Amino acid sequence: MNFKLKDIVPQLITVLAVVLVFGFFTYNAQINMENRGIDFGYGFLSQESSFDVQFSLIEYDGSHSYFRAYLVGLLNTILVSVIGIIIATILGVIVGIARLSPNYLINKFAAFYVEFFRNIPLLLQIFFWYFAALRALPLPQDAEAMFGVFFLTIKGLYVPAFIWQNFNIFFYSIIAAIIAIIVIRAHAKKVQENQGKQIPVFLISIGLIFILPLLSFLIGGVRLSFEVPVLKQLATTSFIYEGGVSLPPELIALTLSLSLYTATFIAECVRAGIQGVGKGQKEAAASIGLTPNQVLKLVIMPQALRIIIPPTTNQYLNLTKNSSLAAAIAYPDLVLVFAGTALMQTGKAIEIVSITMFTYLTLSISISILMNWYNKKIAIQEK
């Protein structure tokens, strides 16, 4: 019989302790809520929220429900995270490769950037950009246009808006181009494996991605025009821009600091990944006559990616979680809108904090599942 008391006792005690702690907490929570006359429940989500949010991707005002406010916050969080991840990845890869450059100046410049930005707290950087750097921008009436259409002012960045006619046809044409490219690539790979012939996939792809949308303009009736922001005087000293798309300064400060900060970590991951590929690989590839670009693309990168991706996933997760610092500069993200304003109004601390945490957990887990899938796809297929 391999039933042993010594195996059971520690487990029982641990579980008992956990159950006791949780029981203690829920018991107290019940008593506290009874005393304060709060009832537990998620019914408030459908009530009218009656507060405004200054920046939202979906239509929202005070007459919408708390759930809608939650969605507004969530979408704003996702917006910042996605933009941040894209910029941080591009910057991080460039800096990471620059760190390995044989050029002394580039190398040191990249090293300086990494050491500088990653040793300063992110919150301080956000404050710096928002309260110090962006506040030094000109007022709307003094702003000079960049390329004639962009206006960077203290009230945010104003960019032209696209005004589409028959946008869906354009959209379908792009999708068709992408599908065609995938088919052609598969076909080209097959041809190369069977017959050894190379088809200029790259040129064909570029042609497709330009020609199909162009056709949609020529015969599909798609029209595109720009709405350039125009300065408008509200009062003697108050000006705003009308038309176009306005990005609030909070969004700019947040994406800027998030991507500058996270890029340093991604750069280190990229550097470690490329350094992790053996020197022999590079030499072997060069010795069979591949050009330096081919060596990087066909030999180094596929192997380096396997080392780079797991830690980079962590950085993406960190960026998403760090986007919650938005609350400190009043960018209406999930924490500010929901765990801030909505909590103040309803007083439903337990429900709201638990929903917020659960949302972040879901976001984190979905990013890590996605990246695990990608990681598995590029991992070495061992026989």
Partner 1 sequence: MSSINFLKPDRTNLNTFLYLGSFLFFISILDVFLNSFFRLNLTDFLPNFLSFLLPLILGFVGLYFIRIEYSGIKNLDLLNKHINTNNFNAVLSLLIIFIIIKSLPPILSWFVIDASFAGDTKDVCTGSGACWTYIKVWMRRFMYGMYPNAEQWRINLSFVALVLLGSVGYFATDKFKKYLTLYYVVIYPLIAFLFIFFFISGGPVFFDFSYGIIAAILSIIIGFFIPSKFKFYYFLIVPLALYVILKYFLFFEEYIELGKLDGLNWVETGAWGGLSLTFIISFFCLIFCFPIGMAFALGRRSEFPLIRYISVGFIEFWRGVPLITVLFMSAVMFPMFLPEDFFIDKLVRAIIAISLFEAAYVAEVIRGGLQALPRGQYEAAKSLGMGYWKMHIFVILPQALKLVIPGIANTFLALVKDTPLIFVVGLLEIVGMLNLAKTNPKWLGFAMEGYVFAAIIFWIICYAMSKYSYNLEQKYKTDR
Q: Is 132 in the site for partner 1 (CB under 8 A)?
A: yes
Strands (E), 179-258: 223-227, 230-233, 239-242, 245-247
Strands (E), the chain: 145-146, 150-153, 156-159, 161-165, 223-227, 230-233, 239-242, 245-247
**C-alpha 65, offset from chain centre:** 27
Q: Is 11 in the site for partner 1 (CB under 8 A)?
A: yes
Taking CB under 8 A as the criterion, the residue among 104, 288, 289, 380 binding partner 1 is 104
Size of the residue set binding partner 1 (CB under 8 A): 59
Piece of the chain touching partner 1 by CB under 8 A; list 156-164, 218-226, 235-243, 317-325: 317-325
Q: Which of 325, 288, 345, 245 is nearest to 84 (CA)?
A: 325
Taking CB under 8 A as the criterion, the residue among 25, 42, 202, 226 binding partner 1 is 25
Q: How far is the CB of 14 from partner 1 (least distance, A)?
A: 5
Report yes or no: 122 and 258 within 8 Å, Cβ to Cβ. yes
Q: Is 32 in the site for partner 1 (CB under 8 A)?
A: yes
- Nearest-Å Rg of the Cα atoms of the chain is 27
Q: What residues between 182 and 211 interact with partner 1 by CB under 8 A?
A: none
Taking CB under 8 A as the criterion, the residue among 209, 220, 321, 346 binding partner 1 is 321
- Measured N-to-C along each axis, helices 249-276 and 66-99 cross at an angle, to the nearest 10 degrees, of 40
Sign of CA dihedral 224, 229, 230, 235: positive
Which CB sits closer to partner 1, 277 or 336?
336
Q: How far is the CB of 352 from partner 1 (least distance, A)?
A: 9
**321/315 Cα distance (integer angstroms):** 10
Which CB sits closer to partner 1, 308 or 339?
339
Taking CB under 8 A as the criterion, the residue among 185, 343, 345, 371 binding partner 1 is 343
Q: How far is the CB of 112 from partner 1 (least distance, A)?
A: 10
Which CB sits closer to partner 1, 101 or 238?
101
